[in-house]
């Protein structure tokens, strides 16, 4: 089966979630991804806690590590000249290098874009960092919560008068970081077909978050309208775009914005008297309280069974254990089984559905350094040389 990124070779130096998520997306569509991981013990900051030690626990951890699926692993201590020479040899035949260190680290290691472009002018280097490679925040440390703070997403999330609601680290790490990086890399690959040259890609997760806020800021730039927590139609103020607790303690979501959806909702739950008051914002709090009482009369599944019969924007708020058994998610192949050393394991499937070159998780994540010997042999190193490199701590 032909895959969209067949023949694209990626070297992934990243450690934390955004980089591995990016290279997982590329691997799912056929890219040949090699994790260039730290030799265990070589550097606490560069990672390397799970060395190649076959055990039931290690194999199980790797099997369920979806971010590492479809990849190979070589362990290199890039502080050693011999390891850098190995990496340079790999770069000669590569298309993409991904890194997620703090700005300046790859330059100190001698594996930055300027150095690698001299070896391979077609190389595309993608740096993923919290605040990007430039600007007054570029050297600041941070995590998802900090990037969504600067990017504006955290400030608009939550209920009025309450602290901002902290989402799981999806917005910056995975959307603003990993997904944006994968998109940018594909753009650079297409551009290379026109220019014949690679380029440097600078992904700041706070930039990615702010990009996701483009529509929200259109109103601000146009008429000065600001979004405050829980005070606008789309973030919790409207009764018809909200969540409600049901009789079983689970939650149900309503998104009936358009007039015909609002009309259907009111007729089903017996609030026809509210039909002309949909956008009477002064009455929204009272309407919301009324809705709360109504939704408390049935379970979430009962409401779903009722709502799904009509043209109403509604859905049960699924807990994780229910997400993976949901009939729609299963039908869309979003829950899949992936081969691993411990047998088939369940993982989340591939989001984009391409008709001719579909993506597919091909095999589970490797242990650190699992393919070191294989890769070095492919570069021309014999077993004696590999043993010497390993003894010197250059490879693992």
Per-residue burial over 247-268, b = 16 or more CB atoms within 10 Å of its CB, e = otherwise: eeebebbbbbeeeebbbbbbeb
Could you give the percent of the chain with pLDDT greater than 70? 97
Per residue in 108-118, pLDDT (tens digit) is 999 999 999 99
| pLDDT confidence of residue 48 | 42
Range with the poorest average pLDDT among 44-53, 131-140, 194-203, 267-276: 44-53
- φ, ψ (nearest 5 deg) of residue 296: -75, -10
Q: Does position 50 have pLDDT exceeding 50, yes or no?
A: no
Per residue in 63-110, pLDDT (tens digit) is 999 999 999 999 999 999 999 999 999 999 999 999 999 999 999 999
Per-residue burial over 219-241, b = 16 or more CB atoms within 10 Å of its CB, e = otherwise: eeeeeeeebebbebeebbbbbbb
Distance, in Å, from the CA atom of 384 to the CA atom of 89, rounded to the nearest integer, reads: 19
Distance, in Å, from the CA atom of 340 to the CA atom of 348, rounded to the nearest integer, reads: 15
Per residue in 206-226, pLDDT (tens digit) is 999 999 999 999 999 999 999
Per residue in 158-193, pLDDT (tens digit) is 999 999 999 999 999 999 999 999 999 999 999 999
Nearest of 177, 190, 198, 51 to residue 120 by alpha carbon: 198
* Domains annotated on the chain, with CATH: 9-212+333-391 (3.40.50.10540), 233-245+251-316 (3.30.1540.10)
173 is catalytic: yes
Output Rg (C-alpha) for the chain, integer angstroms.
25
| pLDDT confidence of residue 49 | 39
Q: What is the mean pLDDT of residues 12-29?
A: 97
The answer to whether 94 and 123 have CB atoms below 8 angstroms apart is: yes
Nearest of 132, 160, 155 to residue 145 by alpha carbon: 155
Inter-CA distances, 66 with 17, 18, 21, 70, 123, Å: 11, 13, 9, 9, 26
* Reported pTM: 0.95
Q: Which of 28, 112, 173, 202 is catalytic?
A: 173
Distance, in Å, from the CA atom of 211 to the CA atom of 209, rounded to the nearest integer, reads: 5
């Amino acid at each position: 089966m032909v895959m969209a990124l067949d023949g694209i070779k990626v070297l992934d130096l990243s450690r934390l979630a955004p980089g591995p998520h990016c290279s997982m997306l590329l691997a799912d569509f056929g890219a040949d991804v090699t994790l260039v991981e730290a030799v265990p013990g070589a550097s606490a900051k560069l990672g390397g806690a799970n060395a190649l030690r076959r055990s039931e626990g290690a194999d199980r951890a790797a099997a369920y590590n979806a971010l590492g699926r479809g990849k190979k692993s070589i362990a290199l201590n890039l502080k050693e000249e011999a390891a850098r020479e190995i990496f340079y040899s790999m770069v000669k035949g590569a298309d993409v290098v991904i890194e997620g260190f703090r700005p300046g680290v790859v330059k100190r290691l001698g594996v930055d874009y300027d150095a690698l472009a001299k070896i391979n002018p077609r190389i595309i280097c993608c740096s993923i960092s919290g605040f990007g490679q430039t600007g007054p925040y570029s050297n600041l440390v941070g995590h998802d919560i900090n990037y969504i703070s600067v990017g504006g997403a955290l400030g608009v999330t939550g209920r009025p008068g309450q602290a901002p609601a902290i989402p799981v680290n999806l917005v910056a790490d995975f959307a603003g970081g990993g997904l944006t990086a994968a998109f940018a890399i594909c753009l650079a690959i297409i551009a290379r077909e026109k220019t014949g040259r690679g380029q440097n890609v600078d992904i700041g997760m706070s930039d990615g978050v702010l990009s996701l806020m483009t529509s929200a800021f259109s109103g601000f730039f146009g008429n000065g309208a600001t979004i405050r927590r829980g005070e606008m139609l789309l973030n919790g103020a409207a009764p018809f775009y909200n969540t409600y607790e049901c009789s079983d303690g689970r939650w149900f979501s309503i998104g009936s914005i358009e007039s015909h959806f609002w009309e259907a909702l009111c007729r089903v739950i017996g609030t026809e008297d509210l039909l002309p008051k949909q956008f009477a914002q002064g009455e929204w709090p009272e309407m919301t309280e009324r809705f709360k009482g109504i939704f408390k009369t049935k379970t979430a599944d009962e409401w779903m069974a009722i709502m799904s019969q009509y043209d109403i924007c509604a859905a049960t708020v699924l807990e994780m254990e229910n997400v993976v058994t949901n009939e729609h998610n299963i039908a869309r192949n979003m829950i899949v089984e992936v081969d691993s050393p411990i047998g088939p394991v369940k993982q989340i499937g591939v989001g984009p559905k391409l008709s001719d070159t579909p993506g597919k998780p091909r095999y589970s994540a490797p242990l650190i350094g699992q393919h070191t010997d294989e890769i070095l042999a492919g570069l021309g190193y014999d077993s004696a040389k590999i043993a010497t490199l390993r003894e010197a701590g250059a490879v693992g």
